[in-house]
Amino acid sequence: MAVSTKFYAIVAGVGPGTGRSVAIRFSEAYPVILLARSPESYKDVVAEINKGGRKAIGITADATDESALKSAFETIKKELPDLKLAAAIFNVRPNSRPSIKPFLELSIKDLDTSLKGNIHGFFNFGQAVVPLLLDSVATSPLPPSLLITGATASLRGSKLWSVVAAGKSGQRILAQSLAREFGPQGVHVAHAIIDGRIDVPDATHYPRNDETPEGTISPYAIAESYWYLHTQHKSAFTQELDLRPHVEKF
Amino acid sequence: MAVSTKFYAIVAGVGPGTGRSVAIRFSEAYPVILLARSPESYKDVVAEINKGGRKAIGITADATDESALKSAFETIKKELPDLKLAAAIFNVRPNSRPSIKPFLELSIKDLDTSLKGNIHGFFNFGQAVVPLLLDSVATSPLPPSLLITGATASLRGSKLWSVVAAGKSGQRILAQSLAREFGPQGVHVAHAIIDGRIDVPDATHYPRNDETPEGTISPYAIAESYWYLHTQHKSAFTQELDLRPHVEKF
Amino acid sequence: MAVSTKFYAIVAGVGPGTGRSVAIRFSEAYPVILLARSPESYKDVVAEINKGGRKAIGITADATDESALKSAFETIKKELPDLKLAAAIFNVRPNSRPSIKPFLELSIKDLDTSLKGNIHGFFNFGQAVVPLLLDSVATSPLPPSLLITGATASLRGSKLWSVVAAGKSGQRILAQSLAREFGPQGVHVAHAIIDGRIDVPDATHYPRNDETPEGTISPYAIAESYWYLHTQHKSAFTQELDLRPHVEKF
Amino acid sequence: MAVSTKFYAIVAGVGPGTGRSVAIRFSEAYPVILLARSPESYKDVVAEINKGGRKAIGITADATDESALKSAFETIKKELPDLKLAAAIFNVRPNSRPSIKPFLELSIKDLDTSLKGNIHGFFNFGQAVVPLLLDSVATSPLPPSLLITGATASLRGSKLWSVVAAGKSGQRILAQSLAREFGPQGVHVAHAIIDGRIDVPDATHYPRNDETPEGTISPYAIAESYWYLHTQHKSAFTQELDLRPHVEKF
C-alpha cells in the first residue's frame, strides 16, 4: 500500500511503547502527525519514519489542553493543506505518573490528574477530530476511525487504582457514547482494552514481536490491532476488543 | 426499632425524590443529617421528620466542595458530639441540569459539571465519611455503610448522554474501588443502579408506594432498598443491585 | 407477620445450607413446600419448621425431571388445595458433584450433568411455577417471585470450571429472559450471584449469622436477601444482586 | 501468502453466509475442511475453492454428534495425512430453526435443540480440535486458533429468545473457559459477538463487501475478522470482540 496523498493520521500520546509503534504502523499508509507534550517523546520516531522514506511530523502539544490542541490543528492545516483526516488515535496518558495509593492517602489533585488526562483529554481530542473524520466519510477508502487505548482499569476498580480507574472508565464510556452517535454517520470509534504490561523495545527495528519478553504485550502487536480496526468494513465494526499476553490470567 | 442514641446517618443530596425518602427511612433508626446546596431542598423534610418525633438536621453545603464539606462535618460534630456515623448516602446531582446534547454541541463546561458533581463530589464525600465509618466498625450494630445512587448511564454511554455517562460511570468504578478496599475493613460500600424515572410524590404521607404511577420508581421503594443494604450481614454484602419498574424494558 | 392462609412458597433444592435457611425464612410468612431428591435432605428442616408451629411439607422429587415435577405439583394441590403460589426459589444443584477438571479430562456426561441440573432443571421448574405465579399477581400482597441461586461461575468461565460455568451462565441468561418476559406481567424474577463459600451451620438455632466463620457466607444472610427480594415493590424490582463475604476478593 | 503444505483449517458449520466466507478466506492460506450436516451445504463452496486452484474438502457430519465428529477426523487424517491443524472455526447452528417463542409455549425439545447445537456441539468440537491445536503450537507460524461465532444472545436474554440465549451464553462461557485454560499453552481461543443480521450474498465473487445491503453484516467482513484473530501475535490475543453494522443500534 502506497502512502496516501489525500489522507493523514494523527497519534496523540507518543512515547517509546504503543504510541511509537502505532505511528510507525500507520505511516505505512498515511503521513502521520505525532502529538506529545515534549519533543523528546516524538523526535526519534519522527526521524525514524522520515528516514524510511515515509512522512511524519511531530507537534508539541498537551492534548488535554483545548487551546494547545486547537493550535496544533492549525499547524497541521498549514503543513498538510490538502489532506483530510483518516485516523485519529488517542493514546494519551495523564501528565504525571498515576497515583497508585490507598484512597485515604489520595488528594483531589491526584483525582484531577486522572480525570484531566483521561476524560478531559479525550473529550477535547474528540471534539477536535470528530468533525474532521466526518468530513472524510464520503471520500476515505477506509472508514475514518477514532481509536482509544484503554486498560484493565477501564473495566473495573481496585484497591489502589481508584482514581486511575475512575478516569479510565469514564473515558471508556465516553468513547462508547461517541461510537453510538457517530457510527451511524460512518465514523468508526473503537476502544481497546490493553490488559497487561506493554513491552518497551529498546531497538528501532520493526516489527520485533518475536523478541517481546514472555508475559508482556508487544506494542507492534497492539499497532497491528489498531490498523486492523481501521480497515474493518463499515458493515462489521468492532466497538471493543481486549488484548493480552497469552499467558496473562484474566 | 428505636432511634439510635449512639449513631447517626447522613444523606448528601436531598430533593423531593430519593434523598427525601431515604432520609425519612433512615430517620426511623438514626438521627439524620441532610446536606443540600440550599435550605429549600431540605427544610420541608427536616420539619416533617422532626414533627414526627424523630430527629433531622439540615446543613447547607455543596458536597462537591471540599471545604464546604469539611465545615459541614464540623457542624455535625457540634450538633451530635457523642454520635458516630452508621450510614452515609451519596445522592448528589451535579449542580446544574445535565447536558443532554449531541457531542459536538457540548462544551468543556458541560463535561466539568458532570465530572465535578459525580466524581469529585463522591471523592470528597468518600474521603470525609470513610474514616468516620471505619471508626464505627467495632461498635455499630449494623455494618457501617456507604451507599451510592447510580443510574443506567453508570453502565453505558449513549448518543446524547455522553458527559453524564462519563461522570456516572467514573463514579461507579470509584465506588467499586472503595468496596474492594474497605469491605475487608468492615465498611459496606454498595451502588444502586436506578434504571427508570423516579416518581416525585406531591404529598408527605409515608409510604406511598401504592400511589406511584405505573412505569415510575417509587422513591420510598428505593429508600427500602437502601435500608436493606445497610442491614445486610457482613458475610453477605451486596456490592451492586439494579432497581427498575416492573414494566421497564431493559 | 402471621403465616399466610392464602399463599404458599416452594423451595426446590434443599440441603443443609441455602435451601434450609431460605425455607425457614419463608416459613415465617407462608406454608413452605420443600423439594429434594431424597427425604434425607429435607426431613430435619421440615420437622424443625413444623415443631415451631409453622408449616412445611417435604416432597421427594428431582426438579430436573419434568414428570416428577408435575407429580409434585399435583401433590401440592391436594395438600394445599386453596392456596396460591407466592414465591418459588430455585436452589437446585446438579444431581452429582460438579466436575472440576481440565477440559480434556471431561466427558460429555460431565457436561450433561451440569446442563441438566442447571438449565433443564430451571427450565422445567420455571414452566411449572410461572403460570402459578401469574395466577397470583392480582391477589398476592407481595409481588409473586421467582428467585434463582447463581454463583461466580454464572458470570465467568475458568480453567477447571468449564462445564459448571456453561450450565450456570445458561441458567442465568434464561432467568434474565424470564425477568424480561414476566416482569411486565407482575412476576418478579431475580437472580442472586453467590460469590463465596457458604457456611453450613451444624446447629438448628436461627438466626446464627454471628457464628458464621470469617470468609464464609451465612446461609441465613442469603435467606434474608431472598426475602427482601420478595418484598420489593413492583416499582423497584432488582433483577440481579451479588452476595459475598466482606473479606472476599472480587 | 502461498497455501500451506503443512497446516490445514477446519470450518464446522457451513452455509451460504459466515461459514462459506470464512472457508474461502482461510483457503487463501490453508487447505480447508468444511463440515456440514448435508453435502448441499458445502458442495458449491468446495467446488468454488477447488476451481480457484486452492484446496477444500467437504465432509458430511453433524458436529454436535461425538462419533460423527470422530469419524470426520479419521477421514481428515486419511485425506491430509501429513498436515497439522492451524485453525478451527465453530460456526455450527442448532439442527433445526431456533424456537423464538414465549417461554410458556416452549417445550423441553426446543431447549434441547439449543443446548445440543450450541453447547454440546461446541464441547465435542473443542474436545476433538484442542489436542490437535496443542500439537501445532511448536511449529505453526501463526498461533493455532479456535474461533467461535457468537451472537447478541450470547450476552443477554430476551423475551422471545430464552432458549437460544441460554444455549449461546453457555457456549460463550465455555469458550471463555477454554481461552483461560489453553491460552497459556499457546492456543488462541476467541469469541466473536455477531450483533446484527448477516447478509447472504447471492453471487460467488469475493469479496463483495461493497454490495452488502445497509444494515446487514457482510460475511466477508466477518471472515476478515476471523482471519485477523488468527494472525494475532501471542503477546496480544483478543478473547472477545463484537461485530456490527455501523448503523446498528446497541
DSSP for B219-240, please give it.
Answer: HHHHHHHHHHHHH--TTSB--E
- Residue of chain B nearest C191, judged by CA positions: B241
pLDDT band at B205 (very low <50, low <70, confident <90, very high): very low
CB contacts < 8 A, A to B, total 132
Can you give the pLDDT at residue B194? 96
Can you give the pLDDT at residue D201? 73
- Rounded CA-CA distance C212/C93 in Å is 22
Mean of pLDDT over chain B: 94
Q: Which residue is listed with cell 486511575?
A: A164
Integer angstrom CA distances of residue A161 from A148, B145, B181, C241: 20, 21, 10, 24
Q: What is the ipTM of this complex?
A: 0.95
Cis status of the peptide bond prior to D81, with omega within 30 of 0: no
CB C178 within 8 Å of CB C123: no
Q: All 3 cell numbers of residue A136? A: 472524510
CA distance D152 to chain A (A): 13
Nearest CA to C7 out of C87, C91, C89, C125 is that of C87
- Residue of chain B nearest A171, judged by CA positions: B166
Which residues are B36's β-sheet partners? B60
Cα torsion A197, D149, A171, A134 to 10°: value is: 120
DSSP state of D186: T
- Rounded CA-CA distance A225/D232 in Å is 8
Distance of CA A181 to the CA centre of its chain: 20
Can you give the pLDDT at residue A202? 60
Can you give the pLDDT at residue D206? 55
Mutate to test the interface with D, among A209, A246, A247, A249 (most CBs of D within 10 A): A246
- Rounded CA-CA distance C31/C6 in Å is 9
Can you give the pLDDT at residue D63? 81
Can you give the pLDDT at residue C15? 85
Nearest CA to D196 out of B103, A159, A184, C224 is that of A184
Nearest CA to D230 out of D174, D175, D190, D183 is that of D190
Closest CB to C131: pick one of D104, D115, D119. D104
DSSP state of D211: G
List of domains in chain C: 7-243 (3.40.50.720)
Name subunits touching C (3+ CB pairs < 8 A).
B, D
Can you give the pLDDT at residue D123? 97
pLDDT band at A201 (very low <50, low <70, confident <90, very high): confident
CB D186 within 8 Å of CB D144: yes
Mutate to test the interface with B, among C235, C239, C244 (most CBs of B within 10 A): C235
- Rounded CA-CA distance B54/B31 in Å is 7
pLDDT band at A166 (very low <50, low <70, confident <90, very high): very high
Q: Which residues of chain C have pLDDT under 70?
A: 1, 202-208, 210
Question: Residue B52: how many CB atoms within 10 A of its CB?
Answer: 13
Name subunits touching D (3+ CB pairs < 8 A).
A, C
CB A32 within 8 Å of CB A55: yes
Cis status of the peptide bond prior to D207, with omega within 30 of 0: yes
Interface of A with B (CB under 8 A): 66, 102-104, 106, 108, 111, 115, 119-120, 123-124, 126-127, 130-131, 153, 156-163, 165-182
Nearest CA to A153 out of B169, D188, C245 is that of B169
- Rounded CA-CA distance A21/A205 in Å is 10
Alpha-carbon dihedral sign for residues A221, A227, A230, A233: negative
Tell me the per-residue pLDDT of B127-176, one tens digit each, with 9 for 90 and over.
Answer: 999 999 999 999 999 999 999 999 999 999 999 999 999 999 999 999 99
- Rounded CA-CA distance B55/B81 in Å is 15
Can you give the pLDDT at residue A214? 87
CB A143 within 8 Å of CB A234: yes
Percent of chain B with pLDDT over 90: 86
- Rounded CA-CA distance B219/B197 in Å is 10
Tell me the per-residue pLDDT of A6-61, one tens digit each, with 9 for 90 and over.
Answer: 999 999 999 889 999 999 999 999 999 999 999 999 999 999 999 989 999 999 99
Mutate to test the interface with D, among A235, A240, A248 (most CBs of D within 10 A): A235
**pLDDT of residue A117 exceeding 50:** yes
- Rounded CA-CA distance A122/A119 in Å is 5
Q: Is B127 left (phi over 0), alpha (psi -120 to 50) or beta?
A: alpha
Of B23-32, B62-71, C67-76, D164-173, the one with minimum mean pLDDT is B62-71
Can you give the pLDDT at residue C205? 47
How many residues are present in chain D? 250
Q: What are phi and psi of D236, to 5 degrees?
A: -150, 65
Q: Is B147 left (phi over 0), alpha (psi -120 to 50) or beta?
A: beta
Integer angstrom CA distances of residue D220 from A187, D16, D142, D162: 20, 11, 21, 29
Q: Which long-range contacts (CB under 8 A, 24 or more apart) does A78-84 make?
A: A80/A8, A80/A31, A80/A33, A82/A6, A83/A4, A83/A5, A83/A6, A83/A7, A83/A8, A83/A31, A84/A6, A84/A7, A84/A8, A84/A132, A84/A135, A84/A136, A84/A139, A84/A140
Average pLDDT over residues A72-79: 97
pLDDT band at A208 (very low <50, low <70, confident <90, very high): low
Alpha-carbon dihedral sign for residues C100, C104, C109, C113: positive
Nearest CA to C29 out of C235, C231, C240 is that of C231
Contact yes or no for B233 and C242 at CB 8 A: no
Tell me the per-residue pLDDT of A220-232, one tens digit each, with 9 for 90 and over.
Answer: 999 999 999 999 9
Nearest CA to C37 out of C12, C6, C73 is that of C12
Mean of pLDDT over chain A: 94
Q: How confident is the prediction along chain D (250 residues), in pLDDT tens digits per residue?
A: 689 999 999 999 998 899 999 999 999 999 999 999 999 999 999 999 999 899 999 999 998 888 999 999 999 999 999 999 999 999 998 877 778 999 999 999 999 999 999 999 999 999 999 999 999 999 999 999 999 999 999 999 999 999 999 999 999 999 999 999 999 999 999 999 999 999 887 645 455 666 788 899 999 999 999 999 999 999 999 999 999 999 999 9
- Residue of chain D nearest A233, judged by CA positions: D221
Tell me the per-residue pLDDT of C209-239, one tens digit each, with 9 for 90 and over.
Answer: 767 888 999 999 999 999 999 999 999 999 9
Percent of chain B with pLDDT over 70: 96
Q: Specify the higher pLDDT residue, C95 or A170.
A: A170
